[in-house]
Amino acid sequence: MSQAASAEILSVTDVSKSFPGVKALDQVSFSVKRGTVHGLVGENGAGKSTLMKILSGVYTKDSGTVVFDGQEVPSTTPIKSMNMGLAIIYQELNLVNQLSVGENIFLGRFSEMGGMRGVHAKGRELLDSIASKIDTHKLVEELSVSEKQMVEIAKALSFQSKLIIMDEPSSSLTSDELKELYVIIRELKSRGISIIYISHKLDEIFDLCDTVTIMRDGHVIDTRAISDLTRGDMIAKMVGRTIENEYPPRANKVGEILLEVKSLNTLKLNDVSFSVRKGEILGLVGLVGAGRTEIVRALFGADKTRGHEIRIDGKPVKIRNPKDAIQAGFGFVSEDRKLQGLVLPFSVEQNISMASLQKIAPKGILRKSLEKAIAEKHVKSLAVKTPTIKTKVVSLSGGNQQKCIIGRWLETTPRILIMDEPTRGIDVGAKYEIYILMKEIAESGGAVIMISSELPEVLNMSNRVLTVYEGRITGEFDPIRYSADRVMESALGFKGGAEA
């Protein structure tokens, strides 16, 4: 037993965690050996983030045991776990933008470091140890994402961390920056520090990790040495089913041009032009922040533009705000369901009817019976699982909430439905239903513009894919003819794509 404790920095046994309505983790067990890089993979919603948040003390586990560095940890808080030697670097980095690099590394520990002078001197030492040349006096807001990551790593080292968890560290790095990160991770490993590396990108897992744990739907499916696994095995274990039935057949009724966008310019967009055909699902691919969301927001009138031309059916339309856009035939399922889509304290009914208030109030007076009919129609046809239509939308699961928003837009019978991350945080079954809906909208003569960070989803659903890089459209692909790698290269700004 004591030997096991010394060989393993972390061992998790039968940890479970439930949230209202969901079992996020079900008897999860795995362990991480000292001085290894341990990959953690699984689809969105598999429970990776929940597990990491339990380890770092953001959530409390319902049951099970966690042993860290030979000692059982019954409960913890983020500060306790930092001091214990367990650091976590989140995807959305946790730094204070308005403070300097040195101050961020030793946040809250200035006096222990002997004042600001000590902070900057020790900060320098730590950054040097990972061969980073960032000036410790620089403000964090002036740094690039990869530099910020270095600061986070230095901060983790300042706590003498024995285990560093990296949550999707590569999601917004260029390939050169990624190589630097590889070097640092190997350096940390040679010092005996263990890493848990969470990523969707299987290449990185195969490049970096010694062992990998695969999760699905709140369970650990398998933990294995990387050399025992092939890519195919890993994917099969992640999705738990064959790939064929993950997506419905592609929409196949593409007709003439419905929407033309010319020279769309905003602060972040540069001369974006494209068109969408009737019956088509158009996918936008790019990194977070590349301008995908900005394109659809500008199109929908949600952001200010610097002049552009939009034609629907060849006729020019003017869109200054979302209201104009809706009248022109747009619908918009926004990226962040809770912040931008739902009115959480309101009922399912009121959330569904809110884009159609004119319809349920023929003379300016709301008719409850009309509202009820609309809500019931969509709850039924979309199979929204809710006790009643009066239930507050906040108590529904992610997939059902998303269906409410889709229902809201279906009621406006949009000709062009924009869907930004339509399946984010939604379980597999509900995903498939949403794919079917997208296809139906397209095949009934409308068009769908979809954005997704999950490349397979875009490639399998779209009739045509546009890649976006630094506010420009860099390529156009027929997803049947081109491989995911080609599309990704273009989205990463390597070179222009081919004509479809």
Residue numbers at the binding site for another protein (CB under 8 A): 300, 302, 321-323, 325-327, 332, 334, 339-346, 350, 354-355, 357-358, 361, 364-366, 392, 394, 408
User: Coil, strand, or helix at residue 301?
Assistant: coil
In the complex, minimum distance from the CB of residue 492 to another protein, in angstroms, rounded to a whole number: 30
| Count, residues in the chain | 500
Taking the least distance from each CB to another protein, the nearer of 343 and 436 is: 343
**How many Cβ atoms from other residues are within 10 Å of residue 485's Cβ?**
10
User: Coil, strand, or helix at residue 17?
Assistant: strand
Count Cα atoms within 13 angstroms, Cβ side, for 350. 12
Strands 281-285 and 464-469: parallel
Q: CA nearest 285: which of 456, 467, 457?
A: 467
In the complex, minimum distance from the CB of residue 326 to another protein, in angstroms, rounded to a whole number: 4
Q: CA nearest 317: which of 256, 275, 260, 263?
A: 260
Taking the least distance from each CB to another protein, the nearer of 195 and 418 is: 418
**C-alpha distances in angstroms, 326 versus 163, 258, 411, 446?**
50, 15, 12, 14
In the complex, minimum distance from the CB of residue 334 to another protein, in angstroms, rounded to a whole number: 6
In the complex, minimum distance from the CB of residue 395 to another protein, in angstroms, rounded to a whole number: 8
Taking the least distance from each CB to another protein, the nearer of 334 and 463 is: 334
Taking the least distance from each CB to another protein, the nearer of 323 and 380 is: 323
Separation of alpha carbons 127 and 149, rounded Å: 11
Taking the least distance from each CB to another protein, the nearer of 191 and 363 is: 363
In the complex, minimum distance from the CB of residue 405 to another protein, in angstroms, rounded to a whole number: 9
In the complex, minimum distance from the CB of residue 417 to another protein, in angstroms, rounded to a whole number: 13
How many whole angstroms from its chain centre is CA 481? 27
Taking the least distance from each CB to another protein, the nearer of 1 and 365 is: 365
In the complex, minimum distance from the CB of residue 77 to another protein, in angstroms, rounded to a whole number: 22
Structure tokens, 353: 């009817």
**How many Cβ atoms from other residues are within 10 Å of residue 376's Cβ?**
15
Taking the least distance from each CB to another protein, the nearer of 113 and 417 is: 417
